[in-house]
Every structure is written in C-alpha cells, then in structure tokens.
Chain A
Amino acid sequence: MRRVGLGVLGALLLAAPFWVWNPYYVHILIMAGIFTILALSLNLLLGYTGQLSLGHAAFFGIGAYTSALLALRLDWPAWAGFVAAVLVAGLAGYGVGKVSLKLRGAYFVLVTISFAGVIYLVSVNWMELTNGPLGLPGVPPFEVAVAGLFELSFRSKPAFYYLVLGVAALAYLVCRRLVSSRIGRAFIALRENEALAESVGIDGTRYLVLAAVVSAAMAGAAGSLYAHYTRFVSPEVFLFTYTVTMVIMVVAGGKGTLAGPVVGAVLFTVLPEALREVTSWQWQMLLYGVLLILTVFFLPKGVVPALETWLRERRAIRP
C-alpha cells in the first residue's frame, strides 16, 4: 500500500511539467524543491542531533555566492560551480562546527546567528568581491556541455525543475542512508542522552561536526541551484527570513523524521504563495510566528508524526 502510494507520488512528480501547465506553478514547484533541500539539511542538525542552527541561511548564501562568483568572475561551468558551492559551504560548516560545537544548545544557536551576521555584513561591505548591496546580476543558467559531444541546458523552467527534483531526491537519499546507519544512530544518541552516548564510546564533538558539514554542504547545494535559477544573487540570500522559514518547515513538518521536512517545505512554499493573493508579506510572516507557537503547543512533534499516529489509530479501530 505504502509502496504503491510512493510510486504514484513519484510518477506524479516526474510528470509534473506535463500536467502543470502554468509556468508560475512550475516556479512554485522549483522553489518547493530548493526549500526541501534546505529543510532536509537543517533537519539533519536540528532533528537528529538536536542542535539548532539559526545561521543556516549563511550556508545557503555561501553556496549561492560561490556559484555566482565562479561563473561570473572565472567563467567556471555551472556544474563545477555547483560542486565548488557544496565544498565551500561544507568547509564553512566544518569551521563553524569545529569551533562552536564544543558548545551546545543556546550557545550554539548564538554562534550560528553571529556567523550568519558576520557573513551578511561582509557581503554588504566587501564591494570589490560581492558588489555590495547591489548584488551580482547575470548569473548564467545551468548548462552542462562537453565540447562537441553533447549539451544539456536547464535554462527552461521544466528542465530546471528536473534538476532540482534530482538534487532534492539525492539529498533525501543521503539523509535516509545516514540516519539509518551507525552515524545516524550516533546523532540520535547525542540528542537524547549525551552522557550515555559518550559512555558507550561515541565521540560527541566529532559526530556533531560531521552533521554540521553534511548539513552545510546540502544547504550550499540549494544555494547554488537558487543562484542559477534566479540568475541573481544579493546579500538578501543571507536574510534571517530564510533561516526562519527553514526552521518552521522542519518543526511543523516533523523534526527528526525523513518525510517531515519534505512535507513542511512543500506546505510552507505553497501556502505563502496561495496566501499572497489575499494578504501582504508581513501578514504572512506574522502568521509564521503564530504558526510556530501553535505548532509547539498543539503539534509538538509536527504534522508527519501526528498524521502517522492518527492513521495507526484509525487502522486499529477498524475491525
């Protein structure tokens, strides 16, 4: 039953550009895909290791700037920029993790906020490199070409959709394999009982840093895709709004589950777009705040676990 459902869902997603005619809806799907990668990435830290990064937009932004700068200044092909974005963001995650994950909880939150703050200020003030608040327009579209052999362009929206879908599926797979392995068990152990985890030989700092690296690298991948999709990068990629959106997606969807961040990301990409017609942006953000509070009070585990419990109980009642 579950397999059939997943199969249908997969087929629908693969065929989306054929049944979703309106390019605006394809755009929403693409954004949902990018945010899925981001939410999965944040969930690795917040959901599995229990450490909240409130500077996650920094890794997203670092990925976006790496791709944009390499393409614009050094004429790197997009795929190479993408790989570099993943690596550079992962490296940043290593740095932040290495220095701050000796600290836990609120301290870690503050270091990540500060890191994002510093990076934002650098992007605004280092005019020579980043062009400051004006940003970097004209990022080339995502194209893969081997001279004389073949050329693959993701310039059109449907094509880019497949690219994002592929990367999101890969990110999901990475998360799934990681969390069901010894590494994922170490993450969970550290979240639930650090002293006990250490007493059976789990090196806390090492695994938390590993989580930070993988998480940051994934956020960097999303940033690179975003840069090539919108073709424009400015300091606003570091905005706190992005981090808040990611946190809400993960918390509302279900932190520490695999499906939770995906559901949260789709829900909170589509919902604001649907609300855009009726309300202004600040009302939406206000609603985000209220939703976060309500989720903590009424759905503390998130939508996906709540749904699973409901389904299980319903099945149990049926004769």
Chain B
Amino acid sequence: MSLRVEEMAVHFGGVAALADVSFEVEAGRITSMIGPNGAGKTTAFNVITGFLRPLRGRVLYEGDPLTGLKPFQIAERGIVRTFQKTNVFPQTAVLDNVMIGLHLRERAGLAAILLRRRRVREEEATLAALAEEILAFVGLAHRRREPAGALPFGEQRLLELAIALAARPRLLLLDEPASGMNPAEKTAVMGLIRRIREQGVTVFLVEHDMRLVMGISDRVIVLHLGRVIAQGAPGEVQSDPQVISAYLGGR
C-alpha cells in the first residue's frame, strides 16, 4: 500500500467539498478518481499535495503522515503532481522547464556554484542530458529551445508531464492529463502513462475521459458530492447502479 487517505474533510465557506473521504492508492498500479464536476477530485489532490489544509482527517504515505507538510516537502518525499489548468514556466525554454523539474536531483551548494567547481559543471552536463532524455520520452525533443508558452496546448500538457517526471516521482498525481487533447494525443498520453507505471511509478489520476480511465486503470474510485460512492476494478464500477445514477444527474 502506498497512499492512504483517512476521513478527509474540507469545507469551503461552510459547504462541504469533501466529507470524510477515505481511500487507498496501491503501489505500482494506476488508480483513477472520477466523478461529476464539483465532486471534490481536485480538492482531494490539493490536500494530498499540501496546497490545501483539510478540516479533518489525514493523509499517510508509506505509513508516514503528510498532513501539515508544505508542497515542496511533499515533493521531496516523492509525491509529484500536475495541475488541472495548464501549468508550465511560460517564458522559459522547454528544456529549462524540465531542468527546473530536476531541482531535487541537484546538489550543488552556493559556494560551489559561485566558484564554478568542476563537479558543478559536471552535474549541469549530466542533468542537461537527463532533461533531454525526459523530453524525448514525452516526444518534445524537437521543441527544446522554444519558450514553453509558445507551444500548442496539447504539447504544453506533455511538457507538464515531463516537468513532473523530472522531479522523479514515486507517486505521480495527474489532474486531467488529457483534457483539451485531440484523440491522437490522448492515445499517446495513455501509452505514456502505461510506460510510466512500467518504470515502477505509482500513478493516481483524475480524469473525465471514460475511455482513457477505463482503458488504463487498475482501480477506479468514484467521488460524488464529496463522498466516495464506489471503488473497484473498472468493470465493477461501470456497472454500479449508484455510479450510473450519479452520472445521469440523480442523487
């Protein structure tokens, strides 16, 4: 077991966005969280990654509590996320975007940098090569010099994925990785997510595209009005009457 959320509750101005939600994300597998708009999926992501403090409940990763840690501390523990709205470093070149993502792998200290010691230069070279590799992995090598903001939308989403991968996640949280993509790009992303899992990374994603979710997930968690209404294998969830009624707009 990798990530465990226990009785998490979040309120916005008195309205419950998440009401005592509990679930688990198993290591080495792809878990998806689905649910109608406003179900609280992104809120759950924000709590797990430290961007939002819950009213109640706790988050455990490999047995250690994450609650109260800041986002960068959670990243240091190997939990990296992407965002629902496209999120890159727009004025920075694509390759440098990935170099920023490599931040946690760098060791050079202030003094060494100012003296430009040899190992600093070597580290820079190693990391640049690594960044190139990651860019090639998501298929953006040909864009390396362009400013990230100039990329078409679908490629920006791929770049986000590259930045997150650079941070060497053991648990990767993807918030609607395929939103706004055309079918060909979606298929490419599905392939990438599978390959990421094959490298031993646990993937936890929020997505609206059912074809994608049902196609790649090992487990699916269904959130509705701030509560978990079903979880299990894709086939089980799809035939769950509660899930069907939630998606048809009933309560």
For the complex, is A148 an interface residue (Cβ under 8 Å from B)?
no
Q: Would you call B101 an interface residue if the criterion is a C-beta within 8 Å of the partner chain's C-beta atoms? A: yes
Distance to closest chain A CB from B132 (angstroms): 16
Which residues of B in the span 66-100 have a Cβ within 8 Å of any Cβ on A? Answer: 70-73, 75-76, 80-81, 83, 87-92, 96, 99-100
B101 near A177: Cβ-Cβ < 8 Å: no
Give the contacting residue for A196; candidates B83, B106, B110; CB below 8 A.
B83
Residue among A174, A181, A198, A200 making CB contact with B70, cutoff 8 Å? A198
Q: Report B-chain residues with C-beta under 8 Å of the C-beta of A197.
A: 89, 100
Whether the pair A199, B89 counts as a contact (CB closer than 8 A) is: no
Question: Could you count the A-B residue pairs with CB atoms below 8 Å apart for me: how many are there?
Answer: 87
Number of B interface residues in the complex (CB < 8 A): 35
Contact B164 A192 (CB under 8 A): no
Query: Which residues of B have CB within 8 Å of A188?
Result: 89, 92, 96, 100
A10 to B46: give the CA distance in the assembly, Å.
52
- Residue A33 is within 8 A (CB to CB) of chain B in the complex: no
Per a CB cutoff under 8 Å, which of A189, A201, A203, A210 touches B89?
A189
Query: Shortest Cβ distance from B88 into chain A, in angstroms?
Result: 7
Indicate which residue in A182, A192, A193, A195 contacts B103 across the interface (CB closer than 8 Å).
A182
Please determine whether A210 and B110 come into contact, CB atoms closer than 8 angstroms: yes
- Interface contact A199-B108, CB-CB below 8 Å: no
Chain A residues within an 8 Å CB radius of B3 = none
- Asked whether A124 is an interface residue with its Cβ less than 8 Å from the other chain, the reply is no
The docked-state distance in angstroms from the alpha carbon of A174 to that of B113 is: 9
Q: Is B163 an interface residue (CB 8 A)?
A: yes
Closest B residue to A196 by beta carbon equals B87
User: Which residue of A174, A183, A195 contacts B87 across the interface (Cβ within 8 Å)?
Assistant: A195
Nearest opposing residue in chain B for A197, CB measure: B100
Residues of A within 8 A of B116 (CB): 177
Contact B166 A192 (CB under 8 A): no
Cβ distance A194 to chain B, nearest Cβ, rounded Å: 10
Question: B29-61: which residues lie under 8 A (CB-CB) from chain A?
Answer: 49, 51
Chain A residues with CB under 8 Å of B113's CB are 177-178, 181-183
Q: A192 and B72: CB pair below 8 A?
A: no
State whether A196 and B103 are in contact (beta carbons under 8 Å apart), knowing that A177-B113, A204-B72 are contacts in the complex. Answer: no
- Is A200 in contact with B101, judged by CB distance below 8 angstroms? yes
Q: How far is the CA of A253 from the CA of B62 in the complex (A)?
A: 51
Q: Report A157-200 CB contacts with B as 1/0, cut-off 8 Å.
A: 00000000000000000100110011101101100110111111
Residues of B within 8 A of A201 (CB): 72, 75-76, 80, 103-104, 167
Residues of B within 8 A of A183 (CB): 110, 113
Confirm or deny: A13 has a beta carbon within 8 angstroms of a beta carbon on chain B: no
**8 Å CB contact of B72 from A181, A185, A202:** A202
A residues contacting the other copy or chain, number (CB 8 A): 23
- Asked whether, in the complex, the Cβ of B100 is within 8 Å of the Cβ of A177, the reply is no
Instruction: Name the A residues within 8 Å of B96 (CB-CB).
Output: 185, 188
CA distance A163 to B159 in the complex (A): 46
CA distance A199 to B104 in the complex (A): 11
Q: Which of B100-124 contact A (CB under 8 A)?
A: 100-101, 103-104, 106, 108, 110, 113-114, 116, 120, 124
CA distance A202 to B81 in the complex (A): 13
Quick check: B114 and A193 within 8 Å, CB to CB? no
Q: How far apart sit A188 and B92, CA to CA, in the bound complex (Å)?
A: 8
Known contacts: A181-B113, A183-B113, A188-B89. The answer to whether A199 contacts B80 by CB under 8 A is: yes
Cross-chain contact A200 with B104 (CB below 8 angstroms) = yes
**Pairwise interchain contact B114-A198, C-beta atoms closer than 8 A:** no
State in angstroms the CA–CA spacing of A224 and B175 once bound together. Answer: 52
**Which of chain B's residues have a CB closer than 8 A to the CB of A178?**
113-114
Identify B100's interface contact among A174, A195, A200, A204, CB under 8 A: A200
User: Which residues of A135-156 have CB atoms within 8 Å of chain B's CB atoms?
Assistant: none
How close is A304's CB to chain B, nearest CB, in angstroms? 15
CA distance A200 to B169 in the complex (A): 9
Task: Give, as a whole number of angstroms, the nearest-CB distance from B228 to chain A.
Answer: 25
Q: Give B166's nearest chain A residue, CB to CB.
A: A200
Contacts A182-B108, A186-B103, A201-B103 given; indicate if A196 touches B72 (C-beta within 8 A).
no
Interchain residue pairs with CB less than 8 A apart (7): A174-B114, A177-B113, A181-B113, A182-B108, A188-B92, A188-B96, A210-B110
Chain B residues within CB distance 8 Å of chain A? 49, 51, 70-73, 75-76, 80-81, 83, 87-92, 96, 99-101, 103-104, 106, 108, 110, 113-114, 116, 120, 124, 163-164, 166-167
A193-B88, A201-B103 provided; 15 other pairs, C-beta below 8 A? A178-B113, A182-B108, A185-B100, A188-B89, A196-B87, A196-B89, A198-B71, A198-B72, A199-B49, A199-B75, A200-B100, A201-B75, A201-B80, A201-B104, A201-B167
- Across the A-B interface, the 8 shortest Cβ-Cβ residue pairs: A201-B75, A198-B71, A182-B106, A200-B167, A201-B104, A192-B89, A181-B113, A189-B100
